[in-house]
Structure 1
Amino acid sequence: METASMTANDGAPFFLPRDPRTAHWYFSGNKPLITLLIVAYVYIVKVGGPRFMKNRKPYDGIKPLITFYNAFMVVCSAYYVYAFFTTAYIRIGYSPICQGIDFDARDEGTMHLLNLFWWYTMVRILDFLDTFFFVLRKKDSHVSFLHVVHHTMVAFNGWFGISYGADGHSMAFTVINGSVHVVMYTYYFLSSLGPEVQKYLWWKRYITQLQLVQFVVLFVHSLLPFFFNCNYPRSHTYILMPQAAFFFGLFMNFYVQSYQKKTHVSTKPVANGKMH
């Protein structure tokens, strides 16, 4: 099959045909559905939700639900990290340096990996609840450009992988990103337990640093198919690399605004409880 030999440095078309192994799966290749999903999400969190909450008090009664949700996400993310790693790199024998996609591969291990990715994408779409909780609790400052774009791109990437090939080289980043989600949701879970626990969560800033590192790793790792001929589609590479650079910039700006400037301000002299 011709698409099986497309590499990052050949003359392959930018967009690949649908992955034949998942062509009949729900959500695969469904452009109207992914478009509707993203548009509806953005509308709800930026327009409809705030409008609904305008004259209402925050729904703080959902805190137990948020705690359960965060614990659930920790368990889910940890499971998928383990499942992806053991299936791809131990069972199938993936190379962590450069791994192509064989669109003819329908062995048990490969199909299990693709099935895992489908369910993992559903879990990442469930991440939309993060934002819905912010809206219901009127924490509008948390519904930032970075937050919304990140969630929409995660949903798009999952759809793209299911539709055009989720296995291969990008599986390394799926494992890394899943590991970051384990740390992130562990922090959220502990934070939701209240002030007695929150005072020990001094390491929040290091989560952002970890996110920055993952985008550097993604960018560098995405370059490898240009130097190693491992039959990885260039369309995937062209989608991954700009995203890595884009999100690195957004998260770096968030880090500077949240931590570096606060550190600078906190060093100023304080008189009568006010900073000057």
Structure 2
Amino acid sequence: MSNITQGSLNGFISETQNQFFNLLNREMKFDKEVDSWLFMSTPWPVFSILAVYLFFVLIYGPKMMKKREPFNIKTIMMAYNFIQTVYNCYIVSAMFITPGVSDYLKNYVCHPDETENSSLLIRQFYSYSWHFFLSKVFDLLDTVFFVLRKKQSHVSFLHVYHHVNMVITTWTYLRFFKGQQAILCGALNSTVHMIMYSYYFLSALGPHMQKYLWWKKYLTRLQIFQFIIGLTFAVSLFFYDCSFPRVFAVYMIADVTLFLYLFVLFYKKTYSEKTKSG
């Protein structure tokens, strides 16, 4: 009896694996031009960057800074925050400046038009996705600056997980799935980051700016709102049976749900405790 049960279980697991990999093979999309772009041909450069990042911010950096004074990198940070603001602004504006984007997303958000008529626009979507991925690589410098300024308490699990996860997710999406629907989530995320880096730029100007930065907690609320929108969108893509990779849709739902939970916890811990102590 136990042999029959074990055999049935093994058969079920094997069949589930076969169905999963068959689904994955059907949904993956490859493109010689896109897959040859910087960082896209192989995962090793991205994994190497993330490995160096994790080693520095979690091990080597804190040890190096233990007996040192914090680095004065105000000018570097201001330049970085300004560049990030402009870069994210470029990603968002390019989408809406490009002719036909709004009409395409309005008419084909669920079932993309992949005919020759939309080929040039789709190439533009791929280009936006690549720039979006690259912005996530640049985001890693946030943590490096925390370490160099001896603000290791800012290097939380949420912070590090968020940065690493976004690099892996955006690379995987563009390398293997290349759907156009997620462009909307990318535009929303870049808008949030444009506002966020504007805040960081103003904050880096000095203590005299703090009285103008009362809207910091609303920035966190905006990030939470972003995850709610993203989760709703991912669920809609899945349950309306849109032409979007179902494997990636399920991943997005799980991933954004976790982000939403972690950011809500962060918000409660940060601002509820401040209210109580105040």
Q: 2:277 aligns with which of 254, 265, 270?
A: 265
Cα distance change of structure 1 residues 135 and 37 upon mapping to structure 2, 3 Å threshold: same
- What's the RMSD between the two structures over aligned residues? 2.4
Q: Is the Cα contact below 8 Å between 1:100 and 1:233 reproduced in 2? A: no
Q: 2:106 aligns with which of 82, 87, 95?
A: 95
Q: Look up the match of 1:233.
A: 245
Q: Aligned partner of 1:63: which letter? A: K
Cα distance change of structure 1 residues 89 and 40 upon mapping to structure 2, 3 Å threshold: farther
What is the CA distance between 1:90 and its match in structure 2? Answer: 2.7
Inter-partner Cα distance in structure 2 for 1:28 and 1:104: 24
Q: Aligned partner of 2:237: which letter? A: P
Q: Aligned partner of 2:56: which letter? A: I
Q: Look up the match of 2:156.
A: 144
Q: Look up the match of 2:261.
A: 249
Q: Look up the match of 1:123.
A: 135
Q: Look up the match of 1:71.
A: 82
Alignment of 1:1-276 (within 5 A): 13-14=23-24, 16-20=27-31, 22-28=34-40, 30-60=42-72, 62-87=73-98, 90=101, 93-95=104-106, 98-100=109-111, 107-266=119-278
Cα distance change of structure 1 residues 96 and 85 upon mapping to structure 2, 3 Å threshold: farther
Larger % of helix: which?
A: 2
What is the CA distance between 1:82 and its match in structure 2? Answer: 1.2
SS in 1 for 2:277: helix
Q: Number of residue pairs matched?
A: 256
TM-score (norm 1): 0.84
Q: Look up the match of 1:272.
A: none
TM-score (norm 2): 0.84
**Could you tell me the percent identity over the aligned residues?**
32
What is the CA distance between 1:171 and its match in structure 2? Answer: 1.0
Inter-partner Cα distance in structure 2 for 1:245 and 1:107: 33
What is the CA distance between 1:89 and its match in structure 2? Answer: 6.1
What is the CA distance between 1:96 and its match in structure 2? Answer: 7.8
Inter-partner Cα distance in structure 2 for 1:110 and 1:157: 20
Inter-partner Cα distance in structure 2 for 1:28 and 1:111: 15
Structure 2's unaligned 5+ residue stretches are 1-19
Q: Is the Cα contact below 8 Å between 1:121 and 1:158 reproduced in 2? A: yes
SS in 2 for 1:257: helix
Q: Is the Cα contact below 8 Å between 1:98 and 1:228 reproduced in 2? A: no
- 1:106-143 superposed Cα distances (whole Å, 9 cap, x missing partner): 72221122123212311220111111111111110111
Cα distance change of structure 1 residues 157 and 11 upon mapping to structure 2, 3 Å threshold: closer
Structure 1's unaligned 5+ residue stretches are 1-9, 267-276
Inter-partner Cα distance in structure 1 for 2:247 and 2:42: 18
Cα distance change of structure 1 residues 84 and 153 upon mapping to structure 2, 3 Å threshold: farther
Q: Aligned partner of 2:137: which letter? A: I
Inter-partner Cα distance in structure 1 for 2:40 and 2:111: 20
SS in 1 for 2:242: coil
Cα distance change of structure 1 residues 137 and 225 upon mapping to structure 2, 3 Å threshold: same
What is the CA distance between 1:164 and its match in structure 2? Answer: 1.6
